[in-house]
Amino acid sequence: MKFCDECGSIMHKEDNTWVCRSCGYEASRDTAAEQKMVTTQAQEDGGIVDISEAEDRGLPSTSVVCPNCDNDRAYWYMQQIRSADESETRFFICTECEHRWREDDH
């Protein structure tokens, strides 16, 4: 895939030339360079990467006791589950047993 140097639109192949259908710009094709390009269809499928055992969930962690296993560390995130005029609820995920619980405002 090539983009137009003039207007940025996608260019189309016409024989040995790239042609922009938006502005009419033309550029010659370099077939040797095009053959070296790797397309997404030609890329190998690396398979699914299992990150279930990864330490970092991309969430912040804090010091809090898990009610399930008494571990002293948990990931946390905030979510609005009630009406907009009420505060958000903080949810925790234990770093050891992955037990989930929430902190309610009382």
- Secondary structure letter of residue 91 according to DSSP: E
Q: Is residue 65 marked as binding?
A: no
Q: Is residue 87 marked as binding?
A: no
Cα radius of gyration (the chain): 27
Q: Is residue 74 marked as binding?
A: no
Q: Is residue 66 marked as binding?
A: yes
Q: Is residue 20 marked as binding?
A: yes
Q: Is residue 97 marked as binding?
A: yes
Q: Is residue 23 marked as binding?
A: yes
Tokens (6 digits) for 23: 């502005």
Selection from 44, 31, 45, 43 nearest residue 2 by Cα? 31
Binding residues: 4, 7, 20, 23, 66, 69, 94, 97
Binding residues for Zn(2+): 4, 7, 20, 23, 66, 69, 94, 97
